[in-house]
A and B are shown apart, each in its own frame.
Chain A
């Protein structure tokens, strides 16, 4: 089945530690996205990537980093510089970023990050 997988489902971070959230898709989509969701809030964009080896900052990129070495994979690292990392993180993908009606974003199941 085609889809987006995220792992782990739950992740615990110690103070000063970097952690990496995994996102994989087998939909052959070019574009991938990372969102953060806080309680009572909508989703906010952290980073997005239109193509392999290219990515752009979203609205709240500080304290996060990403890589896009493969089309299928878009891992997100939460660095120690992110002072309030506790949140729900959602990965999404779309065919591309050209702006057409087919550019609907499909989401993975999410990762819940908690700070110890």
Chain B
């Protein structure tokens, strides 16, 4: 069974600086998708960025980018120019590309990010 591990329960960053959140996963599959979701205090889960495993190029969405290392099974999230609104829980998630029940999301336990003004 696939597992997702986020080893940093809490992280802190100064406003306008850069922070990297770590995520590792375990799978025997070669085709899958990885996601970072943000959960602000409102508790609604918001998709931040998505990466397809078959793509070597790292995904980027404005200030958010990932470092996807397939061989190492690592999927870190970099937030540049951190803003106060970035403060939230961040969840890494894995989904098989096989579809069916294997297509369901598997989540890590999350990293709580604080942004200091």
Q: Taking beta carbons and an 8 Å cutoff, which residues of A are in contact with B?
A: 33, 40-45, 48, 56, 58, 88, 90, 92, 97-101, 103-110
Contacts and interface: CB of A to CB of B under 8 A. Distances in A.
A110 B27 CA distance: 29
Interface stretch (B70-78, B80-88, B104-112): B104-112
Given A43-B91, A107-B45, A110-B44, A101 B52 contact: yes
Interface string B36-52: 01000011111100101
Contact of A99 (B42, B45, B91, B103): B103
Contact of B43 (A98, A101, A103, A110): A110
B105 A109 contact: no
B91 A103 contact: no
Contacts of B102: 99
The contact size tier of chain B is 20 to 34
A48 B97 CA distance: 17
Contact of A103 (B42, B103, B108, B110): B103
Interface of B: 4, 9, 33, 35, 37, 42-47, 50, 52, 91, 93, 95-105, 107-110
Contacts of A48: 101, 104
Contacts of A45: 104-105
7 contacts: A33-B104, A42-B107, A88-B43, A97-B99, A97-B103, A100-B97, A107-B37
A16 B92 CA distance: 36
Given A97-B99, A99-B98, A109-B42, A104 B104 contact: no
B97 A42 contact: no
Contact of A101 (B50, B93, B104, B110): B50
Given A42-B91, A101-B33, A109 B44 contact: yes
A52 to B, nearest CB: 17
Contacts of A101: 33, 50, 52
A106 B47 contact: yes
B29 to A, nearest CB: 11
